[in-house]
Amino acid sequence: MYLKRVELQGFKSFADKSVIEFEPGVTGIVGPNGCGKSNITDAIRWVLGEKSAKAMRGDTMTDVIFSGSEDRKPLNMAEVTLVFDNEDHYLDNDSNEVEITRRIYRDGGDAEYYINRQQCRLKDITDLVMDTGLGRDSLSIISQNSINAFVQSKPEERRGMFEEAAGVARYKQRKKESVAKLERTTTNLERVEDIVNELERQLNPLKRQKEKAETYLSLKDQLQEIEVSVLVKEIQKFTEELKTVDQELKKLDSDKVQNEAQMTLNEGKKEELEAKMYQLDQEVNDLQGKLLAAMNRVNDLEMQKVEIDANRKHILESTNKEDLEAKIANMKAMLQDALSEYNDRVERYNETKKEKEELDERTRQCDIASNNQRNKIENINISLHQLRATRAQIKDQLENKSGLSYGVRTILKAADTLAGIRGVVSDLIVPNEGYEKAVGVSLGGSAQFIVTVSERDAKNGINYLKRNKAGRATFLPLDVIKGRTIRSDLAMIATSSEGYLGVMSDFVTYDKDIEQIVLNLLGQIVVTDTLDHATRLSKNIHHRLKVVTLEGDVVNVGGSLTGGSLKNTNNTFTHKGELERIEKHIGEEENNLRNARMELARLGNEGREIHQMFLQKQVSFAKLEVVVTNKMNDLQVAKSEYEALTHQSANLEELEADPSDNKLLDELNEAKRERDALKEEIQYKRDMRMRYVNENDMLSSELRELRATQRVIEKGITDHRIAKTKYETDIQNALNRLNESYQMTYDHALEFLNEDVDLDQAKETVRSLRMRIASLGNVNLDAIQEYEDVSSRYETLNKNRIELREAQDALMKAISDMDQIMVERFSDTFEKINTEFNRVFRYLFGGGYAQLKYTDPDNILETGIDIEAQPPGKAAKLHSFSGGENALIALSCLFAMMSVRTVPLSILDEVEAALDPANVERFAKYLQEYSDKTQFIVVTHREGTMAQCDLLYGATMQQKGVTKLVSVKFEDATQMASA
């Protein structure tokens, strides 16, 4: 191995990049004082690991960086690279050429180290050159100053050079590291043993607590396995029973409504019938008075008629012929009376027939109207059924949150057991009237966001959903969410735009504590009246805000538009408004139904009255038929008698055209007509009253039955509502138990249902397990983990203790082995160097005696090295020697070390400066003698040394403060050295 070249840049006086090529053998570097040739020695020592700034002839390590000159500015970085030929792999590196680089920066003084251009540590470099003869403590790199330091240093300080020569520096470093490691190991062992002893004291109590906790958890697992199935089965059972109760309750409620409606209808009918009966009684009383008067008048007129008829019969029965004309006149009058009565009865007959037909038509029209009314009622009922179904669906969505996502519904159901759940956004804000669509569209999916008191509550909610695999939900923590508002410049533009109504957050009502949530969601949304105004406003503000219209059309940030029908959207706010409208419509339809039923009842009453009148007319019509027949017979008889008397046929048409002036008969006919009409009306009213009486009795009977039924229904409703409340409470208690005890939702608990569990037996098992759990008393569930942690820590530390003890023993053995190796190597090398030292000394001094001695022979590992030297004619006292003698002693030691152990490189900086020419020649000859095994780089002024160099470099400062190196011949070198 040898040094091939040194590359310097920015190091001390080497401002420019300089490359110095070296060859095996002796290379001399010459030059006048102050030209920077010793900086090459400093550079090599610096790269090989020198850490002392003082050794570098500076105050701080950054002093090695070129500090500038009159013509040159200071540099910020110094870098030196040593390139070694390593074909023999003398250095422990696989490369045939090894580059070692050290770089330092002025800013911060940071240093960088590289081996073969790969960044490394300083330690890597010192390890690489350790025990190679290139170490800091070796004599391979020495200067004039270190010559005297070597000879005059303390024996203990001198030892390091011999260790380097003996190749034990690596062992010494390893021993130092091993001793430090042993100290750390011993300290760690003591600490670990203290901890292990403490853990041993903790283990037994923790073990008992752990076993108790494990028993508790085992019982809890058994309890959970059984109780979850019990709770699920109970929930299923109660749910089925609740469904049955709900169905029965709905039927009872429907029956109650129908029963109440029927009672109300019957009571109304009864009151109406009683009023009509009272009215009929009053009318019959009045009519009876009129009938009595009419009958009296008929009687009076009939008596008058009887008298007239008797006179006529008397005249007819007279035998006087002179009375024939009177007889004919009376007979004609009688015939005319018979004809008049017959015509009167026929007229009444036809009138009655017409009235009967009219009543029949009215009955038919009333039936048609009743049928129409029934159809109307049926349509109203259909409409009510649809409206109620829609209402039930919307109520289900609003009350049971069926329109919300599964995760949101799960959280709301568990809100009683999860802390800090305020509710969903859609339940916490109320849009102003007319803004439901706009608010719903503005919120979109965020209407389902859940508001929580704190971020921790939100995290608990998310963990609850994860445990139960119950979907996802978005949470808005009140302590985290901050409101957002419109920038003042955009607000000013929006306010002045046509159609602008305001900011969406201004059109909702909410509690003060959620104001930041509302502002966050709605504080930056603008509201306009129409889409045209919305697009213009959005353009005015450069599409930086969302703009929403009252109809729910949207101009998004960026300018995209969203709109269309909202029919199928799930908007909670429109649902609320729709529910109000449906409720109002249902009320209107129910009122229409009542009115329709009342109208149907009125038509029914009217139909019955008309029918009764029709029946009465039929009776009158039948009677009149008999009367007309009788009057017809009377007319025929009168006609026959008239013709028999006159002996000529009677012309009834002429008689009818020339009626007699018989006011009495006309009055009598009119009186009879009035009497018969009054009788007919009284009979009709009496029949109607009787009908009303019968209906009233039937209604009274029905009302009694309805009231009795109502009491039964109301009792049934009360019982079913109590049962419903009980089942709902039982279900909620079971759900709460699942949630509180096992953090499960019902859906999640279904996964653990054991269908084969006998419910009664399982309940008994649950009670037994609960008693066993209660008997355990206080249980520390953390003891299981604590025991595992302590036990694991104990096992780990106990293992560490064993390993530390083994490591301690191994380190002590390693230290002992290294001590033995170092003693053997150091002693062997020392003896060899001592022998060579005396030989070299005698050669260099031309006689005398020199030897090396231990200061403490019994402690080879720490003993110092003393030098005894006696040049010819002098006593052996080192402090009395001259500088040249000290140099020869040091060089003797150096060459002795080289004789024992080959050093690949030796750098000598003016070490022979104090020698006389004869000793310089001896010194130079030694260099040549060892140059086949050792590469020498010599900084010198002496001709004798220069003469033995294979290669010479001259150091000059052509530019002040900047060193340049040039290859020179021997003659030029002597001139440069003497300059």
Give the annotated binding-site residues: 32-39
132 vs 149: CA distance, rounded Å? 22
Residue count (the chain): 979
Greatest Cα pair distance in the chain:
235
Helix, strand, or coil (residue 105) = strand
Residues ≥6 apart with Cβ < 8 Å to 663: none
Residue 578, CA distances (Å) to 426, 446, 571, 652 in order: 15, 21, 10, 82
510 vs 506: CA distance, rounded Å? 10
585 vs 383: CA distance, rounded Å? 10
973 vs 976: CA distance, rounded Å? 5
Strand 525-528 to 546-549 pairing: parallel
Residue 184, CA distances (Å) to 173, 190, 814, 885 in order: 16, 10, 15, 48
Closest to 613 in 3D by CA, of 356, 368, 278: 356
Give the number of other CB atoms < 10 A from CB of residue 291: 19
Give the number of other CB atoms < 10 A from CB of residue 782: 13
Q: What is the CA radius of gyration of the chain?
A: 67
936 vs 939: CA distance, rounded Å? 10
Give the bridge partners for 502, in sequence order: 527
Strands of 590-686 (E only): list them: none
Q: Are 960 and 71 in contact (CB under 8 A)?
A: yes
Residues ≥6 apart with Cβ < 8 Å to 34: 957
Numbers of helices and strands, H then E, in the chain: 23, 24
Q: Are 544 and 557 in contact (CB under 8 A)?
A: yes
254 vs 251: CA distance, rounded Å? 5
Phi/psi of residue 548, nearest 5 degrees: -125, 140
**Cα dihedral 14, 18, 24, 29 in deg (nearest 10):** -40
Helix, strand, or coil (residue 825) = helix
Annotated binding site for ATP: 32-39
DSSP state of 751: G
Closest to 661 in 3D by CA, of 226, 332, 328: 332
Three-class HEC string of 431-487 = ECCCCHHHHHHHHHHHHHCEEECCHHHHHHHHHHHHHHCCCCCCEEECCCCCCCCCC
Closest to 218 in 3D by CA, of 761, 741, 772, 753: 772
Q: Are 546 and 524 in contact (CB under 8 A)?
A: yes
Tell me whether residue 733 is exposed, middle or buried, using C-beta atoms within 10 angstroms of its C-beta: 0 to 12, 13 to 18, 19 or more.
middle
150 vs 137: CA distance, rounded Å? 11
557 vs 103: CA distance, rounded Å? 57
User: Sheet harboring 554-555: ordered strands across?
Assistant: 500-503, 525-528, 546-549, 554-555, 561-562
148 vs 970: CA distance, rounded Å? 29
